[in-house]
Amino acid sequence: MQLFYTPGIDAASSTHYLDEEESKHCVKVLRLQTGDKVQLIDGKGNFYTATIKDAHPKRTQLQILTVAPDPNRRNHYLHIAVAPTKNIERIEWFLEKATEIGIDEISLIICQRSERKEVRTDRLDKIITSAIKQSLKAWHPKLNEPVALNKFLSSPFDGQRLIAHCEPGDKSDLKDLIKPLGKYLVLIGPEGDFSPQEIRDAIKNDFKAITLGNSRLRTETAALEACFEINFLNRI
């Protein structure tokens, strides 16, 4: 059954219209017809089953049959704040894979050593949308607009604050530090890492230094490693 992303759907309504992009994909690409059944996700944790009432290429009309919550909601909250890479395809790769593994929120942070300071979040959000459809997830991760690290550090977060960096000093393994079933915010720096001052500023704002192993990882690899480890450690 084909899956469509419908963030504006009303769970209390019996009818819904696909937007123009999804309608075109439904009718022109997939060649679905009136009477065919489809599955919908709203990005807020619900799956819908519907039939096509009018296979219009710009405004396909659907009849909602059933609504059911996603039974696989994760037992923790993961927010990764990562510096955009010079080659934006690397961050696109991270977003795709992290969405498949499981993540709730992504912030793009601009650091002293950042080589990329501007990002098209609309394009990145589409990559996340494609990944939730591919991996059959009903929750759509939140993608935040780029923000300067010094401003981001003081943002409120009700959970554990962590920073991964390559500078010398005391660092903890995630398995020894995180509390299961919690909320986690992880900072991942740019190519060239965080500056020593940025690390000191993060620690002053209650971030704990962590290690992701002995290898020197690329930005997007480090971000994905943190995503994987935290999800794995919460499999209890």
pLDDT score recorded for residue 236: 66
pLDDT at 38 over 90: yes
Distance CA 147, CA 229 (A): 25
Q: Average pLDDT, whole number, for the chain?
A: 95
Note the pTM of the prediction, 2 decimals.
0.93
203 conformational bin, left if phi > 0, alpha if psi -120 to 50, beta if neither: alpha
188 conformational bin, left if phi > 0, alpha if psi -120 to 50, beta if neither: beta
Residue 73: CB atoms within 10 A of its CB come to: 10
Distance CA 211, CA 46 (A): 36
Strand partners, 91: none
Query: Backbone phi, then psi, for 154, in 5-degree steps?
Result: -90, 5
For 69, the enclosing helix (H) or strand (E) is strand 61-69
Give tens-digit pLDDT for 67-125: 999 888 889 999 999 999 999 999 999 999 999 999 999 999 999 999 999 999 999 99
Helix, strand, or coil (residue 30): coil
pLDDT at 18 over 70: yes
Q: DSSP letter at 86?
A: S
Give tens-digit pLDDT for 205-224: 999 999 999 888 999 999 99
112 conformational bin, left if phi > 0, alpha if psi -120 to 50, beta if neither: alpha
pLDDT at 20 over 80: yes
pLDDT at 204 over 90: yes
> What percent of the chain clears pLDDT 90, i.e. is strictly above it?
91
Distance CA 19, CA 194 (A): 42
**Domains detected in the chain:** 3-69 (2.40.240.20), 77-233 (3.40.1280.10)
For 194, the enclosing helix (H) or strand (E) is none
Mean pLDDT of 178-185: 94
pLDDT score recorded for residue 11: 81
| Residue 124: closest CA among 158, 148, 98 | 98
